[in-house]
Structure 1
Amino acid sequence: MTHPWFADASRPRILAHRGLVTPEDSVVGIAENSFAAVAAAHAAGATYVESDCHLTADGTVVLFHDDTLTRVTGDPRRIAEVELRELEDLMASRGGLITLTHALEAFPAVRFNLDAKADGVEEQMARDITPHAERVLVASFSDQRRIRVLRAVAASGRGILPATSAGARTIARVVTAVSVRSERLLARTLSGLDALQVPERRGAVRIVTSRFVDAAHRHGVEVHVWTVNEPEDMRRLLALGVDGLVTDRVDVGLKVAAEVA
């Protein structure tokens, strides 16, 4: 059965990577993963927004990519060391902080692709997404962290689980299974997954090939490639058969998707 996150939505899927910050927005200080960035992606027509989850010192899940505030605000502290109110003040001139609960409630038409970025975020992240699980896909580089979120949602006993994509170790096993042409290993590795969200390459290793895409599709799993910003790369990957693109320029990606549809 297709998870609701995937149902009744146009394909290819164009995922707004941390929202949308245009060059003009960047000049005036708008930051990725801010309220303004998510709102801009929604206004541009994005159905899907990819974001990242960290836990504040006082236990609120916020959308923020880095472990620390250094790159976005110049403050060297970790997100986990800062309370929500102070973080709101720091982000006020950068598009506004957005919590996970606020994102899910303020944008009811958006389907969120949420990366659990740090250990300790799982329980509260699960509580926040449980009422909205039909429009959430849980991801993480750490398979263990991703699974902890899913188990915490399941333990609530309330409705369906969110969709999910593979972590780094699982992706490595998929690449191995494709390389050695082991359908048995592939089936076992892809069990319980809805998507493989991967870069086109990892160093010298090319991950996204026609064999990789075909193998995922044989087992009912989609392939989403990150982070793809150039139109020619978007067209090339879509021609290869990938199901989705994660991009910093969702406005450009939606135009390309309309051209090739």
Structure 2
Amino acid sequence: MLNERGNALEGHKLAFAHRGFSPEDDENTMPAFRRAVDLGFRYLELDVRTSKDGVLYVFHDETLDRVTSGKGPISQLTSLQIADIKVAGTVPIPTFEELLNEWDDIHLNVDIKDAAGAELFAQHVIDAKANHRVLAASFSDERRRRTLRAAGERVASSSGMVTTVLSTAFGTVGAHRLLKLRERGIVALQVPPRYVGVPVVTPAFVRHAHEAGLQVHVWVVDERTEMERLLDLGVDGIMTDRADVLATVMDERGYWPQ
């Protein structure tokens, strides 16, 4: 997701399809991602987890129970076992390598969910020469740093949802502190509109981020009115489960296609 200078995300206002577009409950699958791309999305949000035998899969939950025919932690199963498990009853769990190589012009915002995935993710990106179109994200700053080390600092990243971002959102840290994030290779703050009932994405938050050269991406926003409010506030990107709604909003504002 770096531009030709290697120091900023591309685009004006970015639309991210959160786990693809999955009205059929097949989140994080190839059909869901293809639907989003067919709608005009060029930025896909996804999650990755590692199997017992070291294969990186596109999957959100720690366990298989919620969305698949399987049971238990995905980390305790081999790739051979995972091959028989289906999302929404019919769709296989894709590997990260499969998704990464499906398109050469699609940007991937990847939430790395386990420690083992950091090196695997970095190696896949390096092998595919795809560092310009991926962004490494994680709730864990340690996993994010581990990923950047493995990638030789050649991958863009967002800050984890930890003390720095939250304290900034609550008004205790200004743009001068955010500059330190920029110096550590972070290009975006990816945050929810609110956290434990407290507004995160405020005019001051957006202003401080922009003064520090950081983009603001907000997740997960499904209501049209909230999308409109956030865009009016100046955020740089929105992640949504309602890819159809966000595509319409972006199109009406002249940001489509991406």
Q: Return the offset for 1:83.
A: 1.4
Segment of structure 1 superposing worse, 35-44 or 46-55: 35-44
State the distance in 2 between where 1:233 and 1:3 align.
Answer: 31
More helix by share: 1
Query: What percent of counterpart residues are identical?
Result: 35
Q: Return the offset for 1:225.
A: 0.4
Q: Return the offset for 1:248.
A: 0.5
Q: Return the offset for 1:13.
A: 0.5
State the distance in 2 between where 1:211 and 1:183 align.
Answer: 10
TM-score, reference length from structure 1: 0.88
Counterpart in the other structure of 1:132: 130
Q: How does 1:58-69 map to 2 (within 5 A)?
A: 58-69=53-64
Q: Return the offset for 1:184.
A: 3.1
Whether the 8 Å contact between 1:116 and 1:139 is mirrored in structure 2 is yes
Q: Are the structure 2 counterparts of residues 90 and 4 from structure 1 closer, same or farther at C-alpha, using a change threshold of 3 Å?
A: farther
State the distance in 2 between where 1:220 and 1:5 align.
Answer: 8
Whether the 8 Å contact between 1:54 and 1:121 is mirrored in structure 2 is yes
State the distance in 2 between where 1:72 and 1:80 align.
Answer: 16
State the distance in 2 between where 1:96 and 1:52 align.
Answer: 15
SS across alignment from 1:252: helix
State the distance in 2 between where 1:204 and 1:40 align.
Answer: 33
Q: Are the structure 2 counterparts of residues 48 and 35 from structure 1 closer, same or farther at C-alpha, using a change threshold of 3 Å?
A: same
Whether the 8 Å contact between 1:213 and 1:241 is mirrored in structure 2 is yes
The match for 2:103 among 95, 100, 107 is: 107
State the distance in 1 between where 2:203 and 2:159 align.
Answer: 19
TM-score, reference length from structure 2: 0.89
Q: Structure 2 stretches of 5 or more lacking a match?
A: none
Q: Are the structure 2 counterparts of residues 81 and 66 from structure 1 closer, same or farther at C-alpha, using a change threshold of 3 Å?
A: same
Q: Structure 1 stretches of 5 or more lacking a match?
A: 155-159
Counterpart in the other structure of 2:13: 12
How many residues align? The count is: 246
Q: Return the offset for 1:4.
A: 7.7
CA RMSD of aligned residues (A): 1.9
Q: Which amino acid aligns with 1:110?
A: I
Over residues 4-41 of structure 1, what are the superposed CA-to-partner deviations in whole Å (9 max), with x where a residue is unaligned?
8723x4x311100001112xx24xxxx10011111111
Over residues 74-112 of structure 1, what are the superposed CA-to-partner deviations in whole Å (9 max), with x where a residue is unaligned?
533111111112212212744322111111111222100
Counterpart in the other structure of 1:171: 165
